[in-house]
Amino acid sequence: MIGTTVSHYTIIKSLGSGGMGVVFEAEDTQLGRRVALKFLPEATGADPLALERFQREARAASALNHPNICTVYAIGQHEGRHFIAMELLEGRTLAQSLGSQPFVPAAIVNIGIQIADALESAHAKGIVHRDIKPANIFVNPRGQVKLLDFGLAKFGGSTGDVNPQAETRVGQDLTTPGTAMGTVAYMSPEQARGQLTDARTDLFSLGSVLYQLASGALPFKGETDAVVFEAILNRNPMPVTHVNSAVPETLSRVIEKALEKDRELRYQSATELRTDLFRVRRDLDAKATAAHPAGDTPSGGAKAAERSIAVLFFENLSGVKEDEYFRDGVTEDIITELSKIRGLNTFSRPTVLAFRDKPVTPAQIGQQLGAAFVLTGSLRRAGTRLRINAQLVDTRTDFPLWSERYDREMRDVFEVQDEIARKIAEALRITLSPQEQAAISAKPTENLQAYDLYLRGKSYARRLTQQDLEFALQMFESAVGMDPRFALAYAGIANVCAQHHYRHGSGSGWLDRARDAAEKAVSLQPQLPEAHVGRGWVFYANKQNDEAVTEARMAIAQKPDCEGVYYMLGRALFAAGRYQEILEMADEAVRVSGSDYNIYVPIINALKALGKTDSERHMNVRRAEALETHLREVPDDARARMQLAITFASLGRAEEAMREANLATVMRPNEPTVLYNAACTFCMLARKAEALQALKKAWDAGFKDAVWARRDPDLAILHDEPEFERLYPA
């Protein structure tokens, strides 16, 4: 239909399609403005109920004039097809913005207030939306919310409306008694039962949306609609504060009240809910102001967020997949440089990792993270030449405060990182102390080739399989060969050698090599967090768990998001039987570990050991989401596939568990950790013979950690087997 004239609208391009419509961008030739034209799909045009729902959307929205509701201009027909002309929106739906990472509290409250305000207006006119969900909530680049799709709206449905006739007239309500209307995961209990609905139904659905924003997961989950219905009717979700410690109790209580199953105990009006959210926002503002009083920010009395920055992963323009490690390394180093500035709140690598290579705008990042500024950029290298483009953008105005293009030799990459950090501080009117200037100027190494090898090695060391660890070791050892004072590379050697000793056998002096490298790193840079992580792995591999915990705590004190530190800490605590300590750090560990799916292993094992079944299931749902996200980026990560197999088995998804387990073992048939985790998967599926066979192969391949195997609750059904006792004696 591109180029077609419909009434006085000229269609320009397609914007997408869904079950209830195909949407085009068009120009209103009479008023000279751009609009969105939504056409009822041809396949459903003859369905009277679909047409009624389509027209109902137009009638409901056109009856409402509110800044948080998408405006409908007109309704018409073209060649037998019905269409609605409506406000053209820029931005994304919440469904497109959601991920496994929760939104920051300030953003949640801001979104909740705007939705409640829209619902207050709709309910006052007797209109109940009945399909509040992330896909129907649009957020524009300025953070303004627009409520969409009133196709399931009920008219005359204010609080207390109990007119059965209004509920049973199909022409009026598009439903019949006992029919559930809406999207299952966000339904209220009364919708799930097919009962009468009123305004409080929308408030329950809004509570489900706020829960998902605050936790990164749905409040009511299941493999089938029936399971979800059962959860909505009979189960309470885990309190948000147990999932995300950053959420204040006041916000958690608002969400819990919105999710009351008894609607007489739920919020009785959108006004009441909105008022409580305003109170939460006031408390958040007061807390931010107290933490950063007047004179402590660039603008004199601004809040902490006024100096917060998210550094998005630079775009790799070289077109070479192999350059991804270099792009990631440069971006991470810029984050590290900026984090040295005391007056600047820099979001950690794991926090921004969720947005890598995603089509997000600075305004969307500001809305989701609460960041005042975003650093975006691109990187291209060709031979010895390097081009970096960088731009600092104000998320509230979408206005660039600073931008620069650097055409340099590769050897100048550290100077470019240094200059970017200084220019950002200057743009935000932050005066650097002499100590901060010195810290920013410090280089990890004077040898660029050594730095390149280190970044390449680090990208492989994250996978932990034997083949990847050995390749990473080659890179790190080549790096220190070029620069014998490269502390980060020595820390990398300590890490991979200790991991190799622990995971793949104790021969060939792996532990001695790890210990020597760790001590060298610490002697070169005593305060280097990565050096303490390396030394911690040495202690852990040598079964000195308390010492490993001490090293982990030292690294966290210096750099809370230091890569792999919480995983090492969790394993050491689990091996020492300190399960409760693992749970106390679990939320923070998951938050700062980003894409490191390994962090879930000690946490879930601790939950199992303590018999916390509901919490364990919830954590497994989060782990499944994290692993599936990771595997979309790195499909050949066999260890991640086997972790996903274990997770599916824990959730009762046996067929999917076997699929992933078989694929992982085909990819890496001799990998000890893959084989060990295959045994765990088979145990959870009650396939004892296959579990013992896989465990024997894991032992032969090098996994000989009796302490871990005997504590591992996944292997519980094997613990009394003679073969298990022979392999892993007490």
Residues 530-552: tens digit of each pLDDT: 999 999 999 998 889 999 999 99
Domain ranges of the chain: 5-87, 92-287, 304-441, 461-576, 585-730
**What's the pLDDT score for residue 19?**
53
How many CA atoms within 13 Å lie on the side-chain side of 657? 20
Q: Which of 73-82, 359-368, 615-624, 655-664 has the highest mean pLDDT?
A: 655-664
pLDDT of 320 higher than 70: no
What is the structure's pLDDT at 47?
62
SS3 state of residue 271: helix
Strand partners, 389: 378, 405
pLDDT for residue 283: 85
| pLDDT at 153 (0 to 100) | 59
What's the CA gap between 683 and 96, in Å, rounded?
Answer: 37
Write down the pLDDT at residue 290.
57
Angle subtended by helix axes 579-593 and 600-609, to nearest 10: 150
Do 75 and 189 touch, CB atoms closer than 8 A?
no
Mean pLDDT of 156-183: 38
The whole-number average pLDDT for the span 409-431 is: 81
Question: Helix or strand or coil: residue 72?
Answer: strand
Fold agreement (5-87, 304-441): no
Backbone angles phi, psi at 283, to 5 degrees: -65, -40
Taking residues 63-69, what's their average pLDDT? Answer: 81
Q: What is the mean pLDDT of residues 375-387?
A: 82
| Contacts within 8 Å (CB) and 24+ apart, 170-176 | 170/49, 171/52, 174/49, 174/52, 174/53, 174/56
| Residue reference for tokens 């926090």 | 351
| DSSP class per residue in 22-39 | EEEEEEETTTTEEEEEEE
Is the confidence at residue 424, as pLDDT, over 60? yes
Residue type at position 578: R
385 and 448 Cβ atoms separated by less than 8 Å: no
pLDDT of 322 > 80? The answer is no
| Mean pLDDT score, 338-366 | 80
Fold of the 585-730 domain: 1.25.40
Please answer whether residues 174 and 181 qualify as being in contact, where contact means their C-beta atoms are separated by less than 8 angstroms.
Answer: yes
Task: Give the pLDDT band of residue 300 (cuts 50, 70, 90).
Answer: very low
Nearest in space to 170 (alpha carbons), one of 49, 38, 275: 49
352-368 core/surface letters (b: 16 or more CB in 10 A; e: else): bbbbbeeebbbbbbbbb
Burial (CB < 10 A; 0-12, 13-18, 19+), residue 221, is middle
Q: What distance separates the 2 farthest-apart alpha carbons in the chain?
A: 85
**Cβ–Cβ under 8 Å, residues 200 and 187:** no
Q: Which stretch of 220-229, 337-346, 354-363, 486-495 has the lowest confidence by average pLDDT?
A: 354-363
Tell me: pLDDT of 175 over 50.
no
Q: How far apart are CA 553 and CA 542, in angstroms?
A: 18
Q: How many Å apart are CA 493 and CA 477, to the nearest integer?
A: 7
- Report yes or no: 107 and 368 within 8 Å, Cβ to Cβ: yes
Domain 5-87 grouped into CATH 3.30.200.20? yes
The 10 Å CB-count burial string (b at 16+, else e) for 576-589 is bebbebbbebbbeb
- State the Cα–Cα distance between residues 380 and 315, nearest whole angstrom: 8
CATH of domain 304-441: 3.40.50.10610
**Top-tier CATH class for 92-287:** mainly alpha
603 pLDDT more than 80: yes
Mean pLDDT is lowest, of 40-49, 118-127, 661-670, for 40-49
The answer to whether 572 and 547 have CB atoms below 8 angstroms apart is no
Average pLDDT, stretch 362-383?
82
Q: Over 90: is that where the pLDDT of 352 sits?
A: no
Among 194, 124, 193, which residue's Cα sits nearest to residue 155? 124
The more confident residue out of 579 and 101 is 579
pLDDT reported for residue 334:
85
- Mean local confidence (pLDDT), 241-270: 91
Q: What DSSP designation does 2 have?
A: T
- With contact defined as beta carbons under 8 Å apart, do 55 and 47 qualify? no
8-state DSSP, 610: T
Q: Which CATH number applies to 461-576?
A: 1.25.40.10
pLDDT in tens, 204-249: 999 999 999 998 889 998 888 888 888 999 989 988 988 888 889 9
Phi, psi of 393 (to 5 degrees): -120, 135
| 263 phi and psi angles, rounded to 5 deg | -70, -15
Q: Tokens for 617?
A: 């299931």
* Residue with the two structure tokens 């399609």: 17
Which residue in 131, 173, 276, 705 is the catalytic one?
131
Q: Has 637 been annotated as catalytic? A: no
